[in-house]
C-alpha cells in the first residue's frame, strides 16, 4: 500500500442543493457531468485500493485513511476496492455521498471470485458440475452477501479460456472449452446481477480479462499472446460475448498484449469488437496498474502517453494505477486528448452508478449482512456444490464408496487437514477457521474412531521424517485416503508452474503408501490439472477433490461414503506429461493424422498424444450406456436446425447422473475446424435401470464458424456428430448442410 500524504488536500463541505435534488428525482447524468471540474471527472474514472483498517499499519493509519476520506469528500475518486463489511464501507461511502459537494456515491468493488464470506469451490471445480443452475446460484449467494456488506461490484467472473494448466489462473475459470465457457460465463453473470442491477441484492459483474489472457505463452502469467483472428474469435472471445449478451455491467482488460497491442490500449478489442460489434453499454476497467504497465511493454513512452492510449482505446476506468488522475489534466491542457473523450468514460461510470441505484442508496445493510453472511442456507449450498464438483477419475473394483460402518480408514497426506488450502485461491472474505477440512468432514460423517490420521510430509520441501509413521498407519488400516496435491498459494495469479508433478516429496510418499498393499484412494486436491500418471497407474481409486471452499471436507465425505454419487466431469484435460501441453481436446487435424507405427505422422516419438484424462471425463458409482443415436434431420439448410437424439440408460445398481455431451465436426470448411467441438450437453439424473432420451438441437449458434471474412456463417457440407460421455468415443453419426432445398426455401425452415 502506498501513502499519498499530500495528494488530496482540499476539503469540501456538505452536499449542494443540486446534489440533494438528484436523490429525489430522476438522476440526470448529463447535468451532473456538466458540474464536475476536470479533476473531479478524472476522479470518477479512478479506482483506488483501500484495504481493511486492520491491515493498515498503525503508523500509516491516520494518513492513509485520512487521505481516502479526503479523496471521497473532494470528489477526486469515484471507486474504491478492498473494503469490506457494511460498517466500514458505509463509513467510506458517507464521505462521498453525504460530505462531498456533488454527493456522487462511490462504487465499491471487490474480488468476489468464488464467494464473499461463504467460500464455494474454486470456479474451475464448480464448472465440472456441468450444472449451470448451480453455478448461477453460487454467484447469486455471493452477490447477496457482498451487496449487504456494501460491495456493489465484483471483479468476476473470470471467463478466460485456459488450455495450459501451467497457468495458475486456470483455477478461476471454467476450463478449456469456449462454447461451454460461454454458457458458464452467462450463468455466472446472471447470478451476480440477479433480477436487476438496481435490486438491493445485486452486484455488477466484470467479465475478465479482456482478452486472451489465458493464452499466455508458456503458461506464464502476464506473458504475450499471439494468435489468428480465427482463434481469438472462436476460442477466446466467445465467453466474453456471452457475458455481454447476459448483461455484464463491466469488463476488465487483461495484462497481456495481443498480437503486439496491450489489452488496455487495444482499440480493436475495446472499440471495434466490444462497442461497435457487441453494442456493450457498460464500462471497462483496466486491470491492476495495467495502464502503467504499457510502458515496460514498450507500447507507451511515459505515463501520460499510457493514459492517453488507454482512454482513447476505450479503457474507461484506471484500476489503482492513478494514471488518469495524475496525467490527464495536463494532457487536456496541452491538447493531447479532448475533454469529450474523458466525458464519454465518466458518463459510463455515472450511468452505471445510476443503474445500480446508488444515488438512492449506496450503503450496505448491517441487519441483512448479519442474516446472510455465512448463513446456514449458504453453507448448505456450499456443501452441495462441493460434492457436485468432485470428479471420480478411477475406481477399480468399485472400491468407492466406502462403507462407513466397517474397518479403519487411514487419512494421510499434507492436504488432508489444512483449512486455508481447503478454501482455495482468492478466497475473498473467507476465513480459514470457517473451513471444514477433509479430515474433519470424514470424522463428522462416521464414528471418529474409524479414522486415523498422519500428515506424512509437508506439501513442499524435502522432509521425509513423517513417512515412517504414515506407512505404519497405512499398513494398519483397511483403506487409505491419501490427500496430495497443491496448496492454494501454488495456484491462482502469478503462480504458473513449470513442473506440474506432485510438489516436494509427495510423489515419494504416494509411492511408499502404494507399496504397502493397502488399497489406496488418491485424493487430488489441486487448483488445476496436474501431471500424475503414476497415480493413475498405481492407486486403486482416484478422485479430483480440488479446493472446495468452506464445506470442502463435508462435501468430500458425502461422496466418499456414497451419500452423493459423483457426477462431475473435467473441464480441462489432464496431461500425462508436461511436454504434451497444450493438450486440449478440440484440436484440428493435420495433413498427416496419427497412425500407429508410422514415422512421418503427427505424433510424439516417446509418448501418446492422448491426455491422461480428457475433457468431459468423469466416472460415477453407477454405469451408463448410450444407445439409439438418431439424427432426425439428416439434411438441413444453412439456416436450419438439426435435431439429434440419443438414449442414456443407467445400467448400474444405484441412482446417478451423467453428463451427455454432443460434439460436432465440420469436416470440410473454408477455415480448418477442430475434430470435435462441444455443442451441447445435458446432465441427466437416472434411477438404476432407468433410461431417458436426450434431444439436442443444432442451429446457427452451434454450427456457424468464423470464416475469416468478418463473418459468422454456416457453411454447406457434412457434419460429423458424436454423442458421448466425454470428449472421447461415443456414438457417431452425421448430417448434411445444404445451400437450398428443392422448393427454393432453406431446408429446415418454415
Ligand atoms: C488481477 C485481477 C483482479 C485485480 C484486483 C489483478 O492482479 O489480475 O483479476 O481483479 O488484481 O485485485
CATH number of the CATH domain containing 440: 3.40.50.1700
Q: Which atom of ligand 1 is nearest to the CA of 172?
A: 9
Q: Is 441 inside a domain boundary?
A: yes
Cα gap 666→737, rounded to integer Å: 10
Q: Is the CB of 169 under 6 A from ligand 1?
A: no
Kindly calculate the radius of gyration of the chain based on its CA atoms and give it in whole angstroms: 27
Q: Is the CB of 388 under 6 A from ligand 1?
A: no
**Whether residue 328 is found in the same domain as residue 402:** no
Q: Is the CB of 676 under 6 A from ligand 1?
A: no
Range of the domain at 634: 624-738
CA distances (Å), 740 to each of 339, 664, 737, 746, 749, in order? 53, 21, 9, 5, 10
Neighbours of 546 (CB within 10 A): 31
What are residue 74's phi and psi, to 5 degrees?
-90, 0
Res 742: pLDDT: 44
Res 185: pLDDT: 99
Res 57: pLDDT: 61
What are residue 328's phi and psi, to 5 degrees?
-85, -15
Model pLDDT for residues 438-485, shown as the tens digit of each residue:
999 999 999 988 999 999 999 999 999 999 999 999 999 999 999 999
Catalytic residue among 287, 316, 417, 421: 287
Nearest CA to ligand 1 atom 11: 288
**Whether residue 301 is found in the same domain as residue 431:** no
Residue of 272, 318, 274, 330 lying closest to 293 (CA atoms): 318
CATH of the domain at 186: 3.20.20.300
Ligand 1 centroid vs 585 CA: distance in angstroms?
29
Res 68: pLDDT: 80
Nearest CA to ligand 1 atom 6: 288
* Mean pLDDT over the full length of the chain: 94
Neighbours of 602 (CB within 10 A): 14
Nine cell digits for residue 59: 503508523
Res 448: pLDDT: 86
Q: Is the CB of 683 under 6 A from ligand 1?
A: no
Q: Which one of 154, 205, 288, 496 would you pick to mutate in the ligand 1 pocket, going by the greatest count of ligand atoms within 8 A of its CB? A: 288
Nine cell digits for residue 2: 502506498
Number of domains in the chain: 3
CB 609 within 8 A of CB 576: no
Q: pLDDT above 70 covers what percent of the chain?
A: 95
CB 150 within 8 A of CB 79: no
**Whether residue 79 is found in the same domain as residue 127:** yes
Q: Which one of 81, 155, 222 would you pick to mutate in the ligand 1 pocket, going by the greatest count of ligand atoms within 8 A of its CB? A: 155
**Whether residue 212 is found in the same domain as residue 296:** yes
Mean pLDDT of the region 248-276: 98
Q: Is 119 inside a domain boundary?
A: yes
Q: Is 590 inside a domain boundary?
A: no
Q: Does the pLDDT at position 21 exceed 80?
A: no
**Whether residue 270 is found in the same domain as residue 124:** yes
**Whether residue 436 is found in the same domain as residue 541:** yes
Cα gap 422→604, rounded to integer Å: 37
Residue that is last in its domain, among 303, 336, 369 = 369
Active site residue 131: no
Mean pLDDT of the region 231-250: 98
CB 719 within 8 A of CB 710: no
Res 59: pLDDT: 60
Q: Does the pLDDT at position 66 exceed 60?
A: no
Q: Does the pLDDT at position 65 exceed 60?
A: no
Q: Is 11 inside a domain boundary?
A: no
CB 153 within 8 A of CB 250: yes
Q: Does the pLDDT at position 533 exceed 90?
A: yes
Q: Is 617 inside a domain boundary?
A: no
CB 104 within 8 A of CB 76: no
Q: Is 589 inside a domain boundary?
A: no
Ligand 1 centroid vs 81 CA: distance in angstroms?
11
Residue that is last in its domain, among 326, 345, 369 = 369
**Whether residue 511 is found in the same domain as residue 392:** yes
**Whether residue 543 is found in the same domain as residue 683:** no
Q: Does the pLDDT at position 10 exceed 80?
A: no
Q: How confident is the model at residue 8 (pLDDT cuts 50, 70, 90)?
A: very low
CATH of the domain at 677: 2.60.40.10
Q: Output the CA angle 578-580-583, nearest 5 degrees.
A: 115
**Whether residue 411 is found in the same domain as residue 359:** no
Res 262: pLDDT: 98
Nine cell digits for residue 138: 453460487
Res 67: pLDDT: 76
Q: Is the CB of 288 under 6 A from ligand 1?
A: yes
Q: How confident is the model at residue 501 (pLDDT cuts 50, 70, 90)?
A: very high
Model pLDDT for residues 196-212, shown as the tens digit of each residue:
999 999 999 999 999 99
Strands 153-154 and 107-110: parallel
**Whether residue 334 is found in the same domain as residue 443:** no
CA distances (Å), 463 to each of 414, 448, 504, in order? 12, 29, 8
CA distances (Å), 275 to each of 104, 266, 285, 317, in order? 26, 12, 14, 16
DSSP state of 199: S
Ligand 1 centroid vs 158 CA: distance in angstroms?
10
Res 7: pLDDT: 32
**Whether residue 343 is found in the same domain as residue 394:** no
**Whether residue 332 is found in the same domain as residue 395:** no
Residue of 629, 659, 634, 639 lying closest to 703 (CA atoms): 639
Mean pLDDT of the region 603-625: 97
Q: Does the pLDDT at position 599 exceed 50?
A: yes
Res 428: pLDDT: 86
The least confident of 9-13, 174-178, 312-316, 552-556 is 9-13
Q: Is the CB of 208 under 6 A from ligand 1?
A: yes
Q: Which atom of ligand 1 is nearest to the CA of 111?
A: 10
Model pLDDT for residues 111-142, shown as the tens digit of each residue:
999 999 999 999 999 999 999 999 999 999 99
Q: Answer left, alpha or beta for residue 85, where phi above 0 means left and psi between -120 and 50 means alpha.
A: left
Q: Is 467 inside a domain boundary?
A: yes
Residue that is last in its domain, among 546, 580, 614 = 580
Res 633: pLDDT: 87
Ligand 1 centroid vs 607 CA: distance in angstroms?
38
Cα torsion at 529, 535, 541, 543 (round to 10°)?
-20
The least confident of 81-95, 171-185, 247-261, 511-525 is 81-95
Q: Does the pLDDT at position 58 exceed 90?
A: no
Amino acid at each position: 500500500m502506498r501513502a499519498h500524504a499530500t495528494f488530496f488536500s482540499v476539503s469540501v463541505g456538505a452536499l449542494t442543493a443540486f446534489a440533494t435534488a438528484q436523490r429525489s428525482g430522476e438522476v440526470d447524468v448529463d447535468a451532473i457531468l456538466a458540474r464536475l471540474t476536470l479533476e473531479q471527472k478524472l476522479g470518477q474514472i479512478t479506482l483506488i485500493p483501500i484495504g481493511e483498517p486492520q491491515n493498515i499499519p498503525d503508523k500509516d493509519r491516520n494518513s492513509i485513511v485520512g487521505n481516502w476520506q479526503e479523496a471521497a469528500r473532494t470528489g477526486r475518486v469515484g471507486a474504491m476496492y478492498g473494503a469490506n463489511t457494511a460498517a466500514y464501507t458505509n463509513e467510506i461511502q458517507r464521505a462521498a455521498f453525504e460530505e462531498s459537494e456533488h454527493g456522487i456515491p462511490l462504487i465499491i468493488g471487490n474480488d468476489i471470485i468464488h464467494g464473499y464470506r461463504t467460500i464455494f469451490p474454486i470456479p474451475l471445480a464448480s464448472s465440472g458440475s456441468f450444472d449451470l443452475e448451480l453455478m448461477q446460484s453460487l454467484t447469486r449467494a455471493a452477490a447477496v452477501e457482498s451487496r449487504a456488506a456494501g460491495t456493489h461490484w465484483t471483479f468476476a467472473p473470470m471467463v478466460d479460456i485456459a488450455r495450459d494448466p501451467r497457468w495458475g489462473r486456470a483455477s478461476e475459470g471454467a476450463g478449456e472449452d469456449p462454447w461451454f465457457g460461454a454458457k458458464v460465463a452467462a450463468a455466472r453473470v446472471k447470478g451476480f446481477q440477479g433480477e436487476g442491477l438496481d435490486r438491493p441484492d445485486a452486484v455488477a459483474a466484470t467479465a475478465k480479462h479482456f482478452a486472451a489472457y489465458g493464452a499466455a505463452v508458456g503458461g506464464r502469467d502476464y506473458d504475450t499472446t499471439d494468435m489468428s483472428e480465427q482463434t481469438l474469435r472462436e476460442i477466446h472471445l466467445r465467453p466474453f460475448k456471452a457475458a455481454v449478451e447476459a448483461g455484464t455491467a463491466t469488463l476488465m482488460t487483461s495484462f497481456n498484449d495481443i498480437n503486439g497491442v496491450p489489452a488496455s490500449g487495444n482499440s480493436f478489442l475495446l472499440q471495434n469488437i466490444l462497442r461497435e460489434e457487441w453494442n456493450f453499454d457498460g464500462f471497462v476497467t483496466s486491470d491492476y496498474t495495467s495502464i502503467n504497465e504499457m510502458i515496460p511493454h514498450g507500447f507507451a513512452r511515459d505515463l501520460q502517453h499510457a493514459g492517453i492510449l488507454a482512454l482513447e482505446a476505450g479503457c474507461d476506468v484506471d484500476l489503482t494505477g492513478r494514471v488518469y488522475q495524475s496525467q490527464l489534466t495536463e494532457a487536456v491542457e496541452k491538447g493531447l486528448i479532448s475533454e469529450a473523450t474523458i466525458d464519454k468514460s465518466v458518463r459510463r461510470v455515472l450511468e452505471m452508478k445510476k443503474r445500480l441505484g446508488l444515488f438512492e442508496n449506496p450503503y450496505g445493510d448491517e441487519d441483512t449482512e448479519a442474516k446472510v453472511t455465512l448463513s446456514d442456507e449458504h453453507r448448505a449450498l456450499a456443501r452441495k456444490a462441493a460434492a457436485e464438483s468432485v470428479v471420480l477419475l478411477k475406481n477399480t473394483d468399485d472400491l468407492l464408496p466406502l462403507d462407513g460402518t466397517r474397518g479403519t480408514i487411514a487419512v494421510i497426506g499434507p492436504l488432508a487437514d489444512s483449512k486455508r488450502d481447503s478454501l482455495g485461491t482468492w478466497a475473498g472474505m473467507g476465513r480459514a477457521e470457517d473451513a471444514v477440512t477433509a479430515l474433519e468432514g470424514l470424522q463428522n460423517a462416521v464414528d471418529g474412531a474409524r479414522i486415523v490420521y498422519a500428515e506424512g510430509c509437508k506439501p513442499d520441501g524435502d522432509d521425509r521424517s513423517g513417512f515412517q509413521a504414515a506407512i505404519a498407519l497405512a499398513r494398519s488400516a483397511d483403506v487409505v485416503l491419501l490427500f496430495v496435491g497443491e496448496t492454494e498459494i501454488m495456484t491462482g495469479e502469478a503462480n504458473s508452474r513449470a513442473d506440474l508433478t506432485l510438489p516436494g516429496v509427495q510423489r515419494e510418499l504416494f509411492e511408499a503408501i502404494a507399496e504397502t498393499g493397502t488399497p489406496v484412494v488418491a485424493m487430488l486436491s489441486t487448483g488445476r490439472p496436474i501431471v500424475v500418471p503414476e497415480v493413475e497407474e498405481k492407486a486403486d481409486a482416484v478422485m479430483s477433490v480440488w479446493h472446495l471452499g468452506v464445506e470442502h471436507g463435508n462435501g468430500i465425505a458425502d461422496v466418499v461414503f456414497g451419500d452423493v454419487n459423483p457426477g462431475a466431469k473435467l473441464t480441462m484435460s489432464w496431461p500425462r506429461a508436461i511436454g504434451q501441453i497444450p493438450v486440449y481436446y478440440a484440436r484440428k487435424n493435420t495433413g498427416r493424422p496419427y497412425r500407429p507405427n508410422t514415422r512421418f505422422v503427427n505424433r510424439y516419438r516417446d509418448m501418446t498424444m492422448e491426455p491422461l484424462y480428457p475433457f468431459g471425463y468423469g466416472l460415477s458409482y453407477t454405469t451408463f450406456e448410450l444407445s439409439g443415436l438418431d439424427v432426425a434431420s439428416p439434411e438441413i439448410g444453412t439456416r436450419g436446425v438439426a435435431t439429434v437424439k440419443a438414449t442414456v440408460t443407467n445400467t448400474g445398481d444405484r441412482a446417478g447422473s451423467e453428463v451427455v455431451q454432443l460434439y460436432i465436426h465440420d469436416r470440410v470448411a473454408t477455415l480448418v475446424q477442430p475434430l470435435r467441438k462441444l455443442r451441447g450437453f445435458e446432465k441427466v439424473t437416472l434411477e438404476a435401470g432407468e433410461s431417458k432420451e436426450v434431444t439436442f438441437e443444432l442451429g446457427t449458434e452451434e454450427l456457424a464458424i468464423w470464416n475469416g471474412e468478418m463473418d459468422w456463417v454456416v457453411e454447406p457440407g457434412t457434419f460429423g456428430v458424436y454423442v458421448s460421455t466425454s470428449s472421447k468415443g461415443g456414438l457417431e453419426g452425421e448430417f448434411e448442410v445444404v445451400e437450398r432445398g428443392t422448393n427454393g426455401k432453406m431446408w429446415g425452415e418454415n
